Structure 1
Amino acid sequence: MAHLPPLRVRFGPHRRGAVAAAVAGVLCASALASPAFAAPAPQRDAAEAPAAQAPADDDHLALTPPMGFNNWNSTHCRAEFNEQMVKGMADLFIEKGLKDAGYKYINLDDCWALPERNAEGKLVPDPKRFPNGIKAVADYVHSKGLKFGIYTSAGTKTCSDIGFPGGLGHEYSDAQQFADWGVDYLKYDNCNNEGVDAKQRYTTMRDALKATGRPMVFSICEWGQNKPWEWAKGVGQLWRTTGDISDNWGSMLSIMKKNLPLDEYAGPGAWNDPDMLEVGNGGMTDTEYRTHFSMWSVMAAPLLIGSDLRKAPQSAFDILSNKEVIAVDQDKLGKQGKVLSSENGRWVVAKEMSDGSRVVALFNESDQSQYLSTTAEKAGLPEADGYRVRDLWKHKDTHTSGTIAATVPAHGTVLVRVSPEADWASLPPSVDSGVAGNTVTEPGSAVRVTSTTHNFGGVPVRSVSTRLTGPKGWTIKSESRPGTSELPGGEKLATDWRVTAPEATEPGTYELKLTTTYRTVAGDRVTATSPVSVRLARAPKDGQSYLSDLAPLGSVNGWGPVEKDRSNGETAAGDGRTLTIGGKTWEKGLGAHADSSVEYYTAGRCDRVTAQVGLDDETGDKGTVTFEVRADGKTVARTGVLTNAQAAQEITADVAGARTVTLVATDGGDGNDSDHADWADLKINC
């Protein structure tokens, strides 16, 4: 779950529990020195375990990653989280076909209980939220052919600001209550854990769940702090590998990157969990949500919907219900995708499937369209004359002689399933047409755009033509041949276009359309379109300017938006405070949160960027950040790792001749908890 920020220090939704755990660890350091210490002794109920009860058979649990719903990301502790809402989610699972697509768990998160246990030490459901109790809700969910999950924490309190009763010292009693209510899934969080060893805390609850005799999936949610992938197999069926996700590109990207290297630890009944899906919550584009869903599936991650399905747009259901992508996640072999390459934001990840095929994700991290490629051999497939390529979002089959490639839009993912095919020639060849590169210009100035059409198949295509069109009033002219009578397999057609936007056009990102038509050997006419983004910007004026006064080309931020002349408030624009580093304040600058990047257009007219950088004082003693300045993608200035104990550091960067300048803040190596990165007194000379 995520956790609400305290009143003064604006930690993100994942912060409060981490702080509580850290403080508790300090307070309990002396107690931990004693090998006899396990938990507050008066609360320990391990002796109450029913000795005659047969252990639950959990060998069959979560043989594929769990799929379902969790309310936290969309409701937190608000009043709308109640019995009717939960029942409504179960109804929507049926109505919208989500159950048929494989989703089966309806899981409650924090705030379902009263703040205190009853006289017998039992958990008490909140009578306002759940007037008929938890068992009645579980029974309703079960009546729909679905399964029911619940939440608590491996500490004395849960993670919300109110702090509801946690399970530490009450494991056997709580587990039996959950079993009596008909719980099928337990999410066990990490707050207020009194410094008790993580493996011990989670193993105790594992044993308590087994002692009930009821099979319950056990979700270990300790945020990856103790590397659970190294010890949690056999303790739980899934374990969080990261802090909490937020509904923005920067957060999702950061979490994805932390989870991708852990492929060797995943398998049937043992899953790396990079947290819930944000699809449908509204903080990302549909392109970004398709990437989110594609990459979670390639990583064999649990697919737990975190949006309020009563409010989600149809596009969210279209993404969440893609059975071909779900099949990647749910493949019985249980392999997590392996990173084949990751250079300049071009990620290639391949996942072995139980039928011998490979799913290949071509993921473009960058803010511009890029050409990504690999081969069937590199993906792990045997040598063959040809391969079937199934596009899992377009639902179309083509063939390739071995190259797997595509021009992928910014923040997009092309997801294909590839297999050797004896009759590959009966399928049309894979043809990709697009524009790769950073297309930025000023209104009224021409920019060259190059489109490329590749034929990856083993047979030619004929009568190939390309056409680039844009908004009304734009001038677009081809400067080289826009077509060819025949494009053999393995060949490409490149066309240069001269693109000019009217001088009065406002800065921003504009979509052009590249249309490619051709005929297959069988005579079928194929027409394909792809978007081409052109970014318009105005270069800074002569002299010295504050970068915070200029409109950026784009930005990515770990939590919330990048703030202008304020610190990062982590949630919404304008919720930051005065930029403050080491007790000194500034009126001008940017407030970011690692991992972040902010890009500006400089048109080769500027020569120097300067700033005072550091972690904002509002995060107390937490956080580590590295700052760097990039000119046309090349790092030209960089700090070491900075902490809250340091005063502001000056950074100066030579950006002479660069068309773009990018400000980057990355985590210093301890996780991006509270990494409020201030770019104070941020100036550029042009």
Structure 2
Amino acid sequence: MLEVGNGGMTNTEYTAHFSLWALLNAPLLLGNDLRSMSAQTLAIIRNAEVVAVNQDWGGSQGRKVRDFGETEVWAKPMSDGGAAVVLFNRSATTATITSSAAEVGLGGSSGYALRNLWTGATSTSTGALSASVPAHGVAMFRVNRSGALAAAPAAGTHQVGDLAWLASSNFWGPVERNRANGEQAAGDGGTLTINGTTYAKGVGAHADSAVHVYLGRACPLFSASVGVDDEVTNAAASVRFQVYGDGRLLAYSGVKRAADGPTALRVATGGYTTLELRVTDARDNANYDHADWGAATLTCTAPGTGSSPSFSGGNGWGPAERDQSNGEQAAGDGAVLTLGGVSYLRGIGTHAPSDLVVTVAGCERFTAVAGIDAEVGSATARVTFTVLADGVTVFTSPAVTLASGPVPVDVDVTGRSTLRLVVGGGGNGIDFDHADWADARLLC
């Protein structure tokens, strides 16, 4: 319920209020007296370009991407491939707020077109975003790539710690390449170590942290082992790891603490132009939050367009679910797909026995993470995953249980027309056999 025009705030504050709710995709419900609106109130709520940001569903709400204390940067990916950006000044004096195209998920271009949604002014930039923002106010922009894109990474396997980064930010000291975060000067950290396991390569950070990497739509897989570095033993350490593609959340870990072992992250990134590796605190504070992306690795091929597959076919209990687990009853009754301590925003939730058909004509690869969903607490859950391409078996998993953890699926589908994604019982009946093709993605 909006406060615009209700009294008690300035028009600058009303503008900030309206901008943030629009960026967050909130229903814009007017809470003021419609019989007596001032011209200034009407000008705010009738700004068609700001309302268009609210109504555009680009796959993600807006979110805070940087917090400087009294000033903040918020961004939302838009369906046209650009981003809406709000620079928010919480302080009592005018402040200059600076961000970048890379920080809002748009790195890799030689130029950008900017439009100020409150003044109507247009401008160009090579990547910098900056504005003088009044106290308690905002500057709001639409930002789009307008220049030539950088060359994609070469085909092969790349360590993120060795790549050039588009941008990075960190709570204490710089984000470290191939070493833990020592909080002060660059290079002051030790070997990346999570619960006794060491990593020669990776990224050492301190929440809240972000690393932005250019993919050029050519890197279909990101993998890492994540956790709190062993240089921290305090029980107050608590972090969460998040992976974004073009500003959209793809996967996130559960809360990781100092005593926990590493969690394996394997995320399909095919078709995305930029990658963001973010670490946040666990909604407490950032004390002791030293976080490692151990062996952070990108597998790159040739540029292509990625998409979540559509499917049809039969399922053991209730319908197979798109982008959620199988709740066994009505469509849409599942939860976030969660395997091995990692939650995925995209994928297919099934229950054995399941046999789904996916059209793959014109595509090159199908990838997924296959396993028993965490909503199942029973050790008796046991399934096998099989992929058939035009009737030929191209992948078969061993028996998968909660204890065994998920298995990666990476299948070449070049020249194929259809895939069958088959889940079978593991030989002990089908009780509790909630099986996910998490992060299922086609590279075409």
Q: TM-score normalised by the shorter chain: which range applies? A: 0.3 to 0.5
**Larger strand share, 1 or 2:** 2
TM-score by length of 2: 0.44
Work out which of the two has the higher radius of gyration on C-alpha atoms and give 1 or 2: 1
